[in-house]
Structure 1
């Protein structure tokens, strides 16, 4: 790719800076708002200048997925404790998707097979599972469940701010949502009204943890 002749907009133009800006736009506003013209404007260059670094928007999308998946970091866990290893993988997957909400759209719309993405997003995780004593078949099953569940949960939670327990206004958002459920017509929604206080936790973190723990318990019981 070309490296010379690019204008500067507070930084050197490079594939890395293009990916950084693209992720910032997509994470905040969605992939729908990501265009070559918008990326170029954010970088302070003309749209044609970007084509010295990327051939198309698809190439940018692939580079974004490569960057995020390749940078996946799973928390440390005792390899002698399979439950801890599986729990760490679930935490790592969900954390990655929270830091970059656009990866949910990317992973459900395209396949990324670069060496970098497979090293971080696939090889590194599977190696941890095998080291923990899971059979190859079970390692694949666990990877499949954990990453697809994290994808689904992250996609569901993201537009529901009352489920984000790390937000400083979480208590107020939960109060408002509880009031919304409780004020629905009881004759039409008797179940919702009756359990409004519990229902507000539907997209909350502890629901993710609950499902992961149920899965781990089932897996290890079957393994035994």
Structure 2
């Protein structure tokens, strides 16, 4: 008799009847997010995680690409904005920007998926396009400007999330985590810069303590606030001309 699979599920028989497309996609996201490497996600490995044979998965999805599309749809369709409406354009931009960042940090896989795939499923369009655009327009941002804001916010969040992911010292410690460990990571990174030859890297040595904040949540907020300031000022100028 075969023993438990490495994932802890008993291999194979009878488990296929317990599967659903959502359960398969959730397992795929769990593996890919845990690895931080989408290339390691294979149909065979996913089947092993679920305790079924690879052919069983093909009765739900035609190919690995279909699974990847399902992962993108699952994450994008569940993007969440704050329930309360924004009080104005600036707050709406902040809400959408942080919602994108939160989604990408909860599921780092989506950064790679968005960089390699286009999804047109209705749930994905509703969660990650219709809802953010509605929030921006409802806050008083004209439609064409809202589209430009949307484009900036999603690409800014993708770029920042991909930069921050391998630099854990940048993230604000979550409640209940070891804040001192995160502080130690920052100290070590600062030491890397400050230990460089000062004649070759005078600015890096001088700014060592500041450089470790590049992947920080505060840095994301700083860049977002600059965009808010510029956009709100432009909206006010346009209103003044009318």
Class of the TM-score when normalised by the shorter of the 2 chains: over 0.9
Tell me, in whole angstroms, the C-alpha distance in 2 between the residues paired with 1:71 and 1:12. Answer: 23
Q: Which residue of 2 aligns with 1:214?
A: 226
Task: Give, in whole Å, the separation in 1 of the partners of 2:87 and 2:167.
Answer: 37
Aligned equivalents of 2:185 and 2:56: distance in 1?
44
In the other structure, the counterpart of 2:239 is none
C-alpha contact 1:78 1:84 (8 A) present in aligned 2: no
Shift of 1:15: 0.8
**Structure 2 alignment gaps of length 5 or more:** 1-12, 237-242
Aligned to 2:137: 130
C-alpha distance after superposition, 1:104-147 (max 9, x if no partner): 00000010100010000100111111111111111001000011
Shift of 1:78: 3.8
Superposition misfits of 4+ residues, deviation over 3 angstroms: 76-80
Determine the structure 2 residue equivalent to 1:3: none
Q: Distance in 2 between matches of 1:176 and 1:49?
A: 48
* Contact 1:77 1:85 survives alignment (8 Å): no
Aligned equivalents of 2:160, 2:83: Cα separation in 1: 23
In structure 1, which of residues 198, 203, 215 is the aligned counterpart of residue 215 of structure 2? 203
TM-fit CA distance, 1:77: 4.4
Do 2:85 and 2:135's aligned partners in 1 also have CA atoms closer than 8 Å? Answer: no
Residues 1-224 of structure 1 mapped to structure 2, 5 A cutoff: 7-8=14-15, 12-29=18-35, 30-166=37-173, 168=178, 169-224=181-236
What is the deviation of 1:7?
2.6
- C-alpha change, 1:51 and 1:78, in structure 2 (3 Å) is closer
In the aligned structure 1, how far is the partner of 2:191 from the partner of 2:102?
Answer: 30
Q: Tell me if structure 2 keeps the 8 A contact 1:76–1:88.
A: no
Q: What secondary structure sits across from 1:108 in the alignment? A: helix
- The alignment's TM-score, normalised by the length of structure 2, stands at 0.87
Deviation at 1:17, TM superposition (A): 1.1
Aligned-partner Cα distance in 2 for 1:114–1:202: 35
TM-score (norm 1): 0.94
Question: In terms of Rg, which structure is larger?
Answer: 2
* Two-structure CA RMSD over aligned residues (Å): 1.6
* C-alpha displacement of 1:189: 1.0
2:224 and 2:74 map into 1 onto residues whose CA distance is: 26
